[in-house]
Amino acid sequence: MSDFNIESLLDFSPAKYWCANCYALFSEKTLKSIKTEAERRKDWIYICPCCSIKYIHSSASEYLLDHYFTEYLDHTVKRPFPYDNEDLHNTINHIQRLALIAKQIKSHKTNYSPLRGLFEALLQAKSFMHFTSYGISQFMIGALKVASQNVDIRGIVAGNSGENMICETTDYKNDAPRLTIQWLNTGEYRSQDVPHQKLVVIDGLLAFKGSTNLTQTGWRSAQKNMDILEVVTNVNEVINFHNRYFSSVWAKSSDQEEMDLDDMIPF
């Protein structure tokens, strides 16, 4: 058995919250830094560091803003981290299952393909899966529709995907209401503004990154080292990759500058 230092758990700071606009992942430490920046501005607002949207409250009271923002995070938005702190046993089991998937992919076993690892990670997901890809296959759309029966799945797909592909998540939205994809047609953007990043994030705990698009051909090519696919299990790196390469692009579809907490909390 390899050494395990229990003090390392003190450094475990998963993403427990996210922005309602761009879905940027926040740890509790991140929330504190957002509030500190707001205090320096003397305007008592929370500001998302990724999309810059401002969370406001009609009262000028700092205490009420803190109260409403906390209530919003705790009760209105489904948290990205799949369990509460009290449910430690299930939390550890979930993390171990995702870690095992990463370990088996990294071992390059011939009977454990990266595609199998992706499917198992989708089945293990407890909260969400976010992805970016340049193109996607019908095969993968079907897999995402199945997985989205249990968790929210949001994706960004660039390239000329075609109407038959797009209608699967628009005209037939009722098949998988928890699957949402932003389709970015490359003809509508300058070449340098078209996202080419390839990223899959599961529960803010596990990420797949590299040059592999979300197609079965791409993931099978990665098994043969013909495409780059890296598995990331460092939580801070997962959060950073997610916010930098997913949330920053997702936010571009929104023209909102502020969110009034009065309108967002159901009481």
Q: What is the mean pLDDT of the chain?
A: 82
pLDDT over 90 (residue 153): yes
Residue 40 has a pLDDT of: 47
State which of 5-9, 180-184, 187-191 shows the largest mean pLDDT: 180-184
Residue 159 has a pLDDT of: 83
User: Rounded to whole angstroms, how far apart are CA atoms 59 and 65?
Assistant: 7
Amino acid letter, residue 130: H
User: Rounded to whole angstroms, how far apart are CA atoms 134 and 214?
Assistant: 8
Percentage of the chain with pLDDT > 70?
Answer: 75
By residue count, the chain amounts to: 267
Percentage of the chain with pLDDT > 90?
Answer: 47
The alpha carbon of 188 is separated from its chain's Cα centroid by a whole number of angstroms, namely 25
∠ CA 214-216-222 to the nearest 5 degrees? 85
CATH superfamily of 88-253: Endonuclease Chain A (3.30.870.10)
∠ CA 223-226-231 to the nearest 5 degrees? 50
Residue 213 has a pLDDT of: 94
**pTM of the entire predicted model:** 0.86
Residue 51 has a pLDDT of: 87
For residue 253 the two structure tokens come to 């579809």
pLDDT tens-digit map of 193-207 = 667 889 999 999 999
Confidence bin at 179 (pLDDT 50/70/90): very high
User: Rounded to whole angstroms, how far apart are CA atoms 114 and 197?
Assistant: 18
User: Comparing C-alpha atoms, which of 190, 125, 203 is closest to residue 158?
Assistant: 190
Residue 146 has a pLDDT of: 96
For residue 231 the two structure tokens come to 């598995």
pLDDT over 90 (residue 1): no
Is residue 224 a contact partner of residue 146, using CB atoms and an 8 Å limit? no
State which of 3-7, 68-72, 140-144, 184-188 shows the largest mean pLDDT: 140-144
Q: What single DSSP character describes residue 244?
A: I
pLDDT over 90 (residue 90): no
User: Rounded to whole angstroms, how far apart are CA atoms 76 and 32?
Assistant: 19
Confidence bin at 266 (pLDDT 50/70/90): very low
User: Comparing C-alpha atoms, which of 80, 221, 214, 85 is closest to residue 157?
Assistant: 214
Confidence bin at 252 (pLDDT 50/70/90): confident
Is residue 27 a contact partner of residue 16, using CB atoms and an 8 Å limit? yes
| For residues 239-265, average pLDDT | 79
For residue 246 the two structure tokens come to 């997913």
pLDDT tens-digit map of 32-65 = 666 654 554 455 577 888 888 887 766 545 556 6
User: Rounded to whole angstroms, how far apart are CA atoms 200 and 239?
Assistant: 12
User: Rounded to whole angstroms, how far apart are CA atoms 90 and 83?
Assistant: 7
For residue 161 the two structure tokens come to 């995907």
